[in-house]
Amino acid sequence: MKKEGKSSKQAEEQMKQQIANKAKKGGKKNAAKQNDDDDAPPAELLQRRKEYSVKFQFPETDKLNPPVLGLYGVTFGYGNDILFKNIDFGVDMDSRIAIVGPNGVGKSTLLKLLIGKIEPVSFYINGLIDIPNFQQSGELRKHRTLRIGWFDQHANEALNGEQTPVEFLCTKFNIDYQEARKQLGTTGLAAHAHTVKIRDLSGGQKSRVALCNLALGSPDIIILDEPTNNLDIESIDALAEAIENFNGGVLMVTHDERLVVQTKCELWIVEDQDIAPVDGDFETYKADVLKALGEALAVKK
């Protein structure tokens, strides 16, 4: 503009005017766009994720001298179906064991034998002729002061469905209302569920109450039967951390690789009416299962 003979002041004024004109045109375009946006449906906003914290914790326990808990010479089955034949198996305060094996081989039955829910007592079923048709035998031995924390995959079986979670804990452990709510809150149980009858809770909510019940019992050994069935990822991680920090023994039946790996459990397999340690880690076990499955499919073909 100066080359055209305009002064600096004239050039400056012209530039300001051009800028103002552009701004005015842009304003009209933005206004038109705004009108179009007003006619469009409202944008769907992402909900901010609610803060969610789960903290399972098992209280420290005193070390018990072995033998702590074991089955000796146990044979057990239902009817003529023998699940275990003359097995010896036990856990102590340093145990970290995950039991694996196909469905139906007796993994949950083994846990129930260890907690005394079913007993390997000798008895006979006699037919028309006087010979034993089936025999269950063996012995369960446990430390006289042992406290076992038991978690069943059917969590509601150990709970009183007619009580609320708060009432259940207050009655069983003689703690006050606020302490019960505090304990339930740490497991991730929503506040509104604290005062709902247990029978009306979801499977995941019942599992949290059951885990809270287990922890308040101050166990020396924790025995878990499929504990992650109704838990979300955050809760599984919290349970794994609680097991890692626990100074007592742990025995579990689970299909959850995440829990087994995080807790560094030793694998034992139930098969052929016996139980034995797996030679290797979970990856080794998976590879063996896949190999056996492949061989079985090849035979079928």
pLDDT for the residue 65: 92
| Residues 112 and 78: beta-carbon distance below 8 Å | no
Residue 40 lies in a domain: no
Residue 221 lies in a domain: yes
The model's pLDDT over 163-177, given as tens digits with 9 standing for 90+, comes to 999 999 999 999 999
Asked whether the predicted pLDDT for residue 121 surpasses 80, the reply is no
- Supply the Cα-derived Rg of the chain in whole angstroms: 32
**Domain assignment present for 13:** no
The share of the chain scoring above pLDDT 70, in percent, equals: 80
**Within a domain: residue 75?**
no
**In this structure, is residue 52 part of a structural domain?**
no
Looking at residues 242-253, what average pLDDT do you find? Answer: 96
For helices 203-216 and 233-245, angle between their N-to-C axes, nearest 10 degrees:
10
Q: Is 222:250 a contact under the CB 8 Å cutoff?
A: yes
Among 19-33, 65-79, 141-155, 241-255, the range scoring the smallest mean pLDDT is 19-33
Please state the rounded mean pLDDT for residues 235-242. Answer: 93
Instruction: Give me the number of domains the chain comprises.
Output: 1
pTM of the model: 0.76
Among 146, 167, 174, CA closest to 70: 146
Instruction: Round the average pLDDT of the chain to a whole number and report it.
Output: 83
Residue type, position 56, single letter: F
In a domain, 227, yes or no: yes
Which parts of the chain fold into alpha helices (H)? Answer: 8-39, 107-115, 165-173, 177-186, 203-216, 233-245, 257-262, 282-300
CB atoms within 10 A of CB 260: 21
For residue 160, the enclosing domain spans 92-100+146-300
- Asked if residue 108 belongs to a domain, the reply is no
Average pLDDT of span 144-163: 86
Write the CATH number for 190.
Answer: 3.40.50.300
- What pLDDT does residue 30 have? 58
Confidence class for position 111, pLDDT limits 50, 70, 90 = very high
- Is residue 122 domain-resident? no
Q: Is the pLDDT of residue 130 over 80?
A: no
State the pLDDT at residue 128. Answer: 35
